Amino acid sequence: MLIALLADVHANRQAFSACLQHAKERGAERYVLLGDFVGYGADPAWTVAKAMELVAGGALAVLGNHDAAIGAPASRMHEEAASVIEWTRGELGAEERRFLAELPLTDAEPGRLYVHADASAPERWIYVLTVEEAARSLHSTEAQITFCGHTHRPAIFSVTSLSKMTAFSPVTDVPIPLHGLRRWQVVLGSVGQPRDGIPAASYAMFDADKKEITFLRVPYDIEGAAQAIRKARLPQYFAERLYYGR
Amino acid sequence: MAKPGLEPGNVLDGFVIEGLIHTGGMARLWSVSKPGIDIPLLMKVPILGEGGDPAAIVSFEMEQMIMPRLSGVHVPQFVAAGDFAVHPYIVMERLAGKTLLPRLVELPLPYEEVAEIGWKIANALHDLHRQHVIHLDVKPSNILFRASGEAVLVDFGLSRHTQLPDLMQEEFRLPYGTAPYMAPEQLLGVRHDPRSDQFALGVLLYFFSTGVRPFGESERMSAMKKRLWQDPKPPRALRADYPPWLQEIVLRCLEVEPAWRYPSAAQLAFELSNHNQIKLTARSERLKTDSFATRLKRRFNPDLKKDWPPRTVATPLPAAPIIAVAVDLSGDAKSTNEALREAAARALATLPEARLACLNVLKQSYIATRDTVLDDEGHNKHVNRLVALQHWAQPLKLREGRITYHVLEAVDPASAILSYAGQNRVDQILVGARQSSLKRTLLGSVSAKIAGEANCTVTVVRPPREDDGSRSEGVREPADTAPLS
């Protein structure tokens, strides 16, 4: 079974729809949405509605820190991001707000754990960027594979039964086998706000039968997404960085 | 993880276990068969559990990850892999020949034979590197030959696939490899440089041509690290008749700094098969090791102490293609040849590691007789062509070592160029378009055949045509032309 994993959409309608279309063409049979549907981008209502539609169709979704901030303002968010959350709150209807408020911090299937940030304390939104951070997350769970997002930087970590770690930056469109002898932390890139220097939208496809993960990049209408941000009078910077993927 | 041992007659996932071929430190090799598969098969089963080397598991994981992704004549064909949770194994093609290991009793081998063995191994390495894999354990017992002559590399347990996670990354305090063959950077934990394989091949060539291992056999880290600053005794100091060209090649492979070795295994193979045109440097002259003072200076070079953190992303090496240019030396190709030279200059300008092979075909008639080789003035046609090729290339002002000249004697020029390109792992062929359409109709176009059949990029170069205005109204497509899809 092919599972499309999408994280950090951040209200980028153009990027989200391009990734969903791409995943459909590649035969995705199931969708897992790893949080942060809103924030930064200018199409939160459409994005959340799309997520609700997918969940109604069987997709799994977990809560991200930007989603959580809609219901309960976060103290640790920087000013500009918080201003977009403020604006987003007004854009969303009661139904969308309820959907976000009810999202679980984690979800699981046999052998797989889904969480927005590190798994050791999901509500603290800790980034998984380094080997040490990945080790902390991996040691907190028994799942064979933990999928997360939050950093906007694709990465794969593994740990052996003897606690030896490996770190790797995945190469686009090269399937990586996630062997059963070790446990893995797969960090997704961002659909709507890539920050690894590549402006194309980032998501991944997991082949549950072969146990292989393939990271993918999808070009999308950046101009459209940036225009929408400018039109909504959100901070310019969130539009500009889309062009550079930074 | 303890599994009942296999015995002849057992069946595992449809594979019938026949006989035990070999028991090594990390794995057992069984001969197996399966109905419906008509090639001889080998099953590799790791030795796990108590007393086993913990590296065996990781090395087996690596091999199971890498082997299914490899193809071609230079690796054993992958057939199947067993699930780790049930019974780990890899089934692959069983090669008929022996490894290079039994040949150690015959050392030293004749120089030409060493060069030929080296050429075959370098070609195999290039094919592996092309598939993003660095072997990192090149040694006689991991090299076999097919009946058709090609070298086959086996055992990918220590290898690195640069597009897949390196499972060895944090696994070992000590670098893994085979002590006498390990490149200096491997000793420092670097596992992403394809040129490490060139170093190991250099050790093998040194050993096979002199009978002596350049860095001894010690497996103690302090002794192994000596290769970082102590240069090996030049082969010419060991054997008086040692050819300078072979010393040039061997010592270049053994350079401590990877950047001073050949930019690619294909270029090393090229040098081995064209050693009459090698540019000899001071390396080929050396008769003794560097002075004590020089070695001492290297010993305390602060660069050696610097930390080499394992990189998560492989830094691509600068492109080092072999570009072949087919030059027509007949009188009427002047403008085409100028265009070819410009195209070559453009291609080389951006690629400082690229090399150029200038080709010309000396056409033979179907019935060749000895005396047609000599022309009226008694000059050898072959030599004349070489001189003309050098003259053509002179304005490019390429330093020696980046350019070679080859006159191919053949009945069919296109086939000769294609076969040269295949044998020498040429990455791009530059060839002029035929000017005269009458000639093309009668003889068939050389460039069209090359462009159609080559295994690499082909650029057909045409000098700008004079604008005769005939196309000014645009070309109309016939109505029945299918649209481009």
- The residue length of chain A stands at 246
CATH number at residue A131: 3.60.21.10
Residue B194's SS3 state is: coil
AA identity, residue B168: M
Residue of A nearest to B62 (CA): A179
Looking at residue B474, its pLDDT comes to 46
A160: chain B residues, CB-CB within 8 Å = 58, 171
| Residues in chain A closer than 8 A to B48 (CB atoms) | none
Task: For residue A59, give both structure tokens.
Answer: 């997709």
CATH code 3.40.50.620 region(s) in chain B? 322-461
Which residues of chain B form CATH 1.10.510.10? 101-301
Q: Percent of chain A scored above 70 by pLDDT? A: 100
- Enumerate chain B positions whose Cβ falls within 8 A of a Cβ in A: 54, 57-58, 61, 64-65, 83-85, 163-167, 169-171, 312-313
Mean pLDDT of A9-16: 98
- Of A222 and B371, the structure prediction assigns the larger pLDDT to A222
Task: To the nearest 10°, report the CA torsion of B451, B456, B457, B460.
Answer: -30
Closest CA to A193 of A70, A79, A64, A60: A64
Euclidean distance between the first and the last CA atom of chain B, given in angstroms as a whole number: 55
Q: Please provide the DSSP assignment of B62-119 as one string.
A: HHHHHGGG--STTSPPEEEE--TTT---EEEEPPSS-BSGGGGGGPSPPHHHHHHHHH
| pLDDT at B479 (0 to 100) | 43
pTM of the entire structure? 0.85
d(CA B101, CA B24): 15
Q: Looking at the domain covering B11-93, what would its CATH class be?
A: alpha beta
Q: What topology does CATH give the domain B101-301?
A: Transferase(Phosphotransferase); domain 1 (1.10.510)
pLDDT class of B1 with cuts at 50, 70, 90: very low
How confident is the model at residue B330, as a pLDDT?
80
Q: What is the mean pLDDT of residues A202-220?
A: 97
Cross-chain CB nearest to A164 (options B85, B163, B171): B171
Distance of alpha carbon B84 from the chain centroid: 33
Chain B CB contacts of A171 under 8 Å are 163
Which amino acid, one-letter code, is at B358? C
- Alpha carbon of B399: minimum distance to chain A alpha carbons (Å): 37
Chain B closest CA to A179's CA: distance in Å?
8
Residue ranges matching CATH 3.30.200.20 in chain B: 11-93
- Was domain B322-461 assigned CATH 1.10.3720.10? no
State the pLDDT at residue B484. 43
Per-residue pLDDT reduced to its tens digit, B53-111 = 667 788 888 999 999 999 999 999 999 998 877 888 999 999 998 899 999 999 999 99
Q: How far is A237 from chain B (nearest CA, A)?
A: 29
Stretch among A178-182, B181-185, B403-407 having the lowest mean pLDDT? A178-182
Q: Which residue has the higher pLDDT, B294 or B240?
A: B240
Give residue A108's domain range.
2-244
How many domains would you assign to chain A?
1
Whether A187 and A148 have beta carbons less than 8 Å apart is answered as yes
pLDDT in tens, B310-360: 433 344 566 889 999 999 888 778 888 999 999 999 989 888 889 999 999
Instruction: Answer whether A28's CB lies under 8 Å from A54's CB.
Output: no
pLDDT at B224: 84
CB within 8 Å: A176 and B164: yes
The pLDDT assigned to B312 comes to: 36
Average pLDDT, chain B: 85
- Give whichever of A72-81, B180-189, B286-295 has the largest mean pLDDT: B180-189
**A36-40, B364-368, B446-450, B461-465: range with lowest mean pLDDT:** B364-368
ipTM reported for the complex surpasses 0.95 = no
- The pLDDT tens digits of the residues spanning A107-160 come to 999 999 999 999 999 999 999 999 999 999 999 999 999 999 999 999 999 998
Which pLDDT belongs to residue B252? 96
